[in-house]
Amino acid sequence: MQTEFLTLAPNTVSGTYKITYQLCEVGANPANCDTAEATVVVTGTLDAKDDTSFTAIPSAHQQ
């Protein structure tokens, strides 16, 4: 059994992508295949512009 992954390039533009692929039973005679569709939603990237500035939040566990 093979396992495949969907891999997108870095900085892929945000949007919804539909990917159609085919699955086939190994060794079946006649061929036993079916198609399927995966939907991948790419959202905007998180970009830390100024990660040197922060606000400390007191913890209930401080002594």
- Does position 1 have pLDDT exceeding 70, yes or no? no
User: Which position has the higher pLDDT, 58 or 29?
Assistant: 29
The backbone region for 51, taken as left when phi is positive above 0, alpha when psi lies in -120 to 50, beta otherwise, is alpha
- Convert the pLDDT of each residue in 8-30 to its tens digit: 888 888 999 999 989 899 898 99
Q: How far apart are CA 26 and CA 33, in angstroms?
A: 9
Q: How far apart are CA 32 and CA 23, in angstroms?
A: 8
Tokens of 44: 């905007």
pTM higher than the cut 0.85: no
Tokens of 57: 């939040």
Query: Tokens 């390039």, residue?
Result: 9
User: Which position has the higher pLDDT, 55 or 2?
Assistant: 55
